Chain A
Amino acid sequence: MFKNKSFIIGITLLILITSFVFVDNTVKGQERLVLATTTSTENSGLLDELIPPFEEKFDIRVDVVSVGTGKAISLAENGDADIILVHAKDAEKQFVEEGYGVNRRDVMYNDFVILGPPADPANIKGMKKAKKAFKKIADTESTFVSRGDDSGTNKKELSIWSSANVEPAGKWYIETGQGMGASLNVANEKEAYILADRGTYLAYSSDLDIEILVEGDPELYNPYGIIPVNPAYHSHVNYQMAMAFVGYITSQQGQKIINEYTAYGKVLFHPSAITSKNLK
């Protein structure tokens, strides 16, 4: 049996390493709040500023799961999240009406921008109305990149197409099924038009040739709402802490953090739960 000595040593070593790593386990036994949110929110870095003061105050760990708005909502519907922070007003309304969520509050907003190649083949630069710009893109059959992933941005894009009375389809319309960053890269490579949230665009802008062509239309307004999951529907959710988080994020302290947060030298989100004079 001496022959398999080193085999046994190998296995023992594996066990030792395993148990060693087991000892060094991440925080245990602490209360947790699962927050499902959108990639754009987490990628912006805002949550890294916003969440720690709350965690400290309430001695809780907030676990942020960042996915598209559509998936965040379905996670919450399945009871796999305690609270969601998303941007898709109609879907949020439906989520509350169907009884999955309660006590929705406005938190903040930013805006979408329409990007395109500097050559601007559809000639939309400086247009005031997003839907008119979309119509022109469709009429000239200029390449347009859609996320096609049921995210908040994708939902907004589809609603602009429908208000422009265009059924986007054809060779010029590309659906990536990927996140904002990946889709921006596709649009850049294809010299195509794309709808993006301003925050993600700013994060990418140094690597992109496509630029902002249309902005400022009220239709491009991008409001974020926070909704706790209804405890009457999913009795296991941490409703109390979810409400505490709603209270915190809409409080003067939470709103101030949002107001003062900058990335890439720009303000990314504007608080909307309290009036600006209360931010002083």
Chain B
Amino acid sequence: MDYIFSALKEAINLIITLDSEVTNVVGTSLKLSLTSTFLAALIGIPLGILVSKIDFKGKYFLNTVLNTLLSLPTVVLGLFVYSIISRKGVLGEWGLLFTIKGIIIGQVLLILPIVVALVRNAIHDIDEKMYKTALSLGATGSQKFRLLISEARYGIIGALITSFGRVIGEVGVSMMIGGNIKGFTRTITTAIAMETNKGRFGFALALGIILLSLSFIINFILYFFQSGESK
């Protein structure tokens, strides 16, 4: 129990004093998570709509693969991305290993299946009649797209919240691809892993508390937009 109280004290202390190492780590984590979520949304939302609305051969198989990827361990994905962007890998010449870009690639791959699968489900849940009416009224492609997004917005925001939660809390990809380099690719989670290894449990717990607080604030904002207009 001692750890928890001293961790709480340390967490508050770290936040108040704006410890430069902590702000750096927090900034890196935020930057990575927001960017990855944004990029995954950019690619994943249209893909999710396509998967839901277009019939093609092998759709059943694709859906099963998507659902399987939801349980992909981050370490396995980290290994996979490492084998591609390592100097020995196919994209080795790009020198992406141990860089911010490298981590973002890994994280986008990690949450893309989540975005696609959850958006697909959200689109499935829309009232079919409305969509058919729009079609019969001769809606154009972009009108159809906007209608679907608008109708499935709660589900879509939910998909983004889930994805954000997954990336900000993941350690496998950030550690293997980022390398936990101080002042550069060190994130909250890799710092927690390292501090635990050093035996600084209080400090590690303090970082954990900061991570959860951040996550709370961002979810609070997102939830505000999700529920704001349903009154």
| Chain A residues whose CB sits within 8 angstroms of the CB of B87 once the complex forms | 78-80, 234, 236
Interface check A119, CB cutoff 8 A: no
B interface residues, how many (CB within 8 angstroms): 43
Q: Is the CB of A9 within 8 A of B100?
A: no
| Chain A residues whose CB sits within 8 angstroms of the CB of B149 once the complex forms | 4, 7
Interface check A18, CB cutoff 8 A: yes
| Chain B, 139-189, CB within 8 A of any chain A CB | 146, 149-150, 153, 156-157, 160, 179-185
Q: What's the A-B contact tally at a CB cutoff of 8 Å?
A: 102
| Chain B residues whose CB sits within 8 angstroms of the CB of A13 once the complex forms | 221, 225
How far is the CB of A204 from the nearest CB of chain B, in Å? 4
Q: Which residue of B lies closest to A229 (CB)?
A: B87
Q: A14-B34, A18-B34 are in contact. Are A7 and B180 (CB under 8 A)?
A: no
Q: Which of A25, A34, A43 contacts B198 (CB 8 A)?
A: A43
Q: A4-B150, A9-B225, A63-B184 are in contact. Are A181 and B86 (CB under 8 A)?
A: no
Q: Which residue of A lies closest to B198 (CB)?
A: A43
Q: Is the CB of A1 within 8 A of B31?
A: no
Interface check A17, CB cutoff 8 A: yes
| Chain B residues whose CB sits within 8 angstroms of the CB of A79 once the complex forms | 86-88, 92
Q: Is the CB of B98 within 8 A of A181?
A: no
Q: Is the CB of A3 within 8 A of B150?
A: yes
Most chain A CB within a 10 A radius of its CB, from B31, B93, B199: B199
A interface residues, how many (CB within 8 angstroms): 43
Interface check A231, CB cutoff 8 A: no
Interface check A275, CB cutoff 8 A: no
How far is the CB of A242 from the nearest CB of chain B, in Å? 15
| Chain A residues whose CB sits within 8 angstroms of the CB of B199 once the complex forms | 181, 184, 200, 203-204, 207
State the CA gap A9–B41 with chains docked (Å).
Answer: 15
Q: Which residue of B lies closest to A61 (CB)?
A: B184
Q: A80-B86, A80-B98 are in contact. Are A10 and B150 (CB under 8 A)?
A: no
Interface check B30, CB cutoff 8 A: yes
Q: A24-B27, A80-B97, A204-B199 are in contact. Are A10 and B92 (CB under 8 A)?
A: no
How far is the CB of B158 from the nearest CB of chain A, in Å? 12
Interface check B197, CB cutoff 8 A: yes
Q: Which residue of A lies closest to B179 (CB)?
A: A65
Chain B residues at the A interface, C-beta cutoff of 8 Å: 27-28, 30-31, 34-35, 37-38, 41, 86-88, 92-93, 95, 97-98, 100, 146, 149-150, 153, 156-157, 160, 179-185, 194, 196-199, 221-222, 225-226, 228-229
Give 3 nearest A-B pairs by CB, closest first.
A79-B87, A10-B225, A65-B179
